Structure 1
Amino acid sequence: MTYVLDRHYTPDHDPIAPTSATLSLIADDRTRPRHRFTGDRGEDFHLDLPRGTVLQDGDRLTDYAASIVVTICAKPEPVYTVTATSPHHLTRLAYHLGNRHVAIEIGQTYLRLQPDPVLRAMLLQLKAQIHEDVLPFSPEVGAYHGQTHGHAHDQTHGHAHDVL
């Protein structure tokens, strides 16, 4: 049986029943709101969530009838855990990664990113310490997440866009 999961709840707004299944996903898969996945116990799930939805560890999904409640788990995956000699040094490393639009998880004393040999070379040149790990990865979602301006066109669009 395929469950179509189309209701999304975050841990701080969760009115639904206890979990009946789990779905462990790596970070890239948690950005795919319309896709088929296999649950941790072999269940067939089809996500049908709004475009732009990014699932986080602990989020819960259900179908229209609430016949199943699925908890999302951040699945361990290969990552670099980057540390620095000081908070200032860590900030500089984050700046350089941000300039390259790299998805990073920001901790108090570390940065975490998906492995990339070019970024590794850059970070080593900047005197970072890099540890190769297999851990759950939860990168920052972004400042503009969820604040998109839709462009579905119909007869009543109602405003014009400036052309630069």
Structure 2
Amino acid sequence: MLTLTQRQPPNPEITVTFTLALTAEERTRSRHRFEAEDGKVVFLRLPRGTVLWDGDILQDETNGNLIRITAKPEQVLTVVAPTPILLMRAAYHLGNRHVPVEITCNYLRLSPDPVLRTLLEQMGLEITEEIIPFQPEVGAYGHHHPHG
């Protein structure tokens, strides 16, 4: 059993014991029990409000083993718009609904939701279903991206 209590910045050079792939929602949990692919049981005990990012390294408190967190590919809707203002309007409407959204200059990404999909399509946005890593924005009162 591993109990992970410390987060370290990503370091592609570092040798890790294994990698734990977590969805966006799982990466927001500071207290959780996961079962890794090989049946290993992993406990997260991180400071409240910790959000893990793709590539973060966690240390096991008992033996110092290092585990790399990766963003597990998951089902998402990727939203693109013909104009930047339309994309901003879409971000505004999604923000009003307090759903987790990944925001970039070129696209928005959210978990599949038929109601929101219809709303966005009616606004004139183009939507693609994908299975890829998802890294939504952290709430305004949370911690900002540690590496960006």
TM-score scaled by structure 2? 0.89
State how far apart, in whole Å, the 2-side matches of 1:96 and 1:67 are.
Answer: 45
Using the TM superposition, give the Cα deviation of residue 42 of structure 1 relative to its aligned residue in structure 2, in angstroms: 3.1
> In the alignment, what sits opposite 1:145?
142
Say whether residues 1:26 and 2:23 are aligned partners: yes
> In the alignment, what sits opposite 1:93?
90
* Unaligned stretches of 5+ residues in structure 2: none
**What does 1:92-111 align with in structure 2 at a 5 Å threshold?**
92-111=89-108
* Correspondence for 2:51 among 51, 54, 63: 54
Using the TM superposition, give the Cα deviation of residue 40 of structure 1 relative to its aligned residue in structure 2, in angstroms: 3.9
Say whether residues 1:64 and 2:61 are aligned partners: yes
Count of aligned positions: 143
Using the TM superposition, give the Cα deviation of residue 87 of structure 1 relative to its aligned residue in structure 2, in angstroms: 1.0
Using the TM superposition, give the Cα deviation of residue 66 of structure 1 relative to its aligned residue in structure 2, in angstroms: 4.8
Secondary structure, aligned partner of 2:89: helix
Say whether residues 1:8 and 2:10 are aligned partners: no
Using the TM superposition, give the Cα deviation of residue 102 of structure 1 relative to its aligned residue in structure 2, in angstroms: 1.4
> In the alignment, what sits opposite 1:75?
72
State how far apart, in whole Å, the 1-side matches of 2:72 and 2:64 are.
Answer: 24
Secondary structure, aligned partner of 1:62: strand
Using the TM superposition, give the Cα deviation of residue 9 of structure 1 relative to its aligned residue in structure 2, in angstroms: 1.5
Structure (1 or 2) with the larger CA radius of gyration = 1
State how far apart, in whole Å, the 2-side matches of 1:81 and 1:9 are.
Answer: 30
State how far apart, in whole Å, the 2-side matches of 1:33 and 1:4 are.
Answer: 12
Contact in 2 for aligned 1:24/1:40 (Cα 8 Å):
no
Secondary structure, aligned partner of 2:109: strand
Using the TM superposition, give the Cα deviation of residue 143 of structure 1 relative to its aligned residue in structure 2, in angstroms: 2.1
State how far apart, in whole Å, the 1-side matches of 2:73 and 2:7 are.
Answer: 22
TM-score scaled by structure 1? 0.81
CA deviation digits over 1:90-127, x for unaligned, max 9? 11111111111111001221000000011011101111
Letter in 2 for 1:28: E
* Unaligned stretches of 5+ residues in structure 1: 148-164
Higher relative contact order (CA 8 A, sep 6+): 2
Q: CA RMSD in A?
A: 1.8
* Runs (4+) off by over 4 Å: none
Secondary structure, aligned partner of 2:99: coil
Using the TM superposition, give the Cα deviation of residue 72 of structure 1 relative to its aligned residue in structure 2, in angstroms: 0.4
